[in-house]
């Protein structure tokens, strides 16, 4: 599965936001589980970033960031679903 992710990353790199690029490039791990986690965290951060402009009350962003790991867990679980 890792070679597929690398190929997808190479083809779509220009479409990735700076958030995703920074998360994915944060370490040089080639361990598939760690790579999958980085992609899940990057996706979760993209969701939070997309919602950020609509956050109007104080503390909403902090609340969303505190749920980052949970969001990443849910994304990973959804990718495993058949």
Q: What percentage of the chain has pLDDT greater than the value 90?
A: 33
Average pLDDT in the chain: 79
Whole-model pTM above 0.85?
no
Helices 32-51, 2-12: axis angle to 10 degrees equals 40
- pLDDT of res. 15: 59
For 68, other C-beta atoms within 10 Å of its C-beta total 14
Residue 34, helix vs strand vs coil: helix
Q: Give the whole-angstrom CA distance, residue 40 versus residue 45.
A: 9
What domain range includes position 68?
2-80
If one compares 49 and 21, the residue with the highest pLDDT of the two is 49
Provide mean pLDDT across the span 47-53: 90
Q: Give the whole-angstrom CA distance, residue 25 versus residue 42.
A: 10
How many independent structural domains does the chain possess?
1
Q: Which phi and psi angles does 57 have, rounded to 5°?
A: -95, 150
């Amino acid at each position: 599965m890792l070679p597929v992710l690398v190929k997808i990353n190479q083809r779509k790199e220009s479409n990735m936001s700076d958030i995703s690029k920074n998360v994915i490039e944060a370490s040089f791990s080639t361990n598939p589980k760690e790579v999958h986690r980085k992609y899940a965290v990057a996706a979760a951060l993209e969701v939070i970033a997309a919602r950020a402009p609509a956050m109007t009350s104080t503390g909403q962003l902090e609340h969303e960031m505190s749920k980052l790991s949970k969001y990443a867990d849910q994304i990973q679980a959804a990718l495993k679903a058949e």
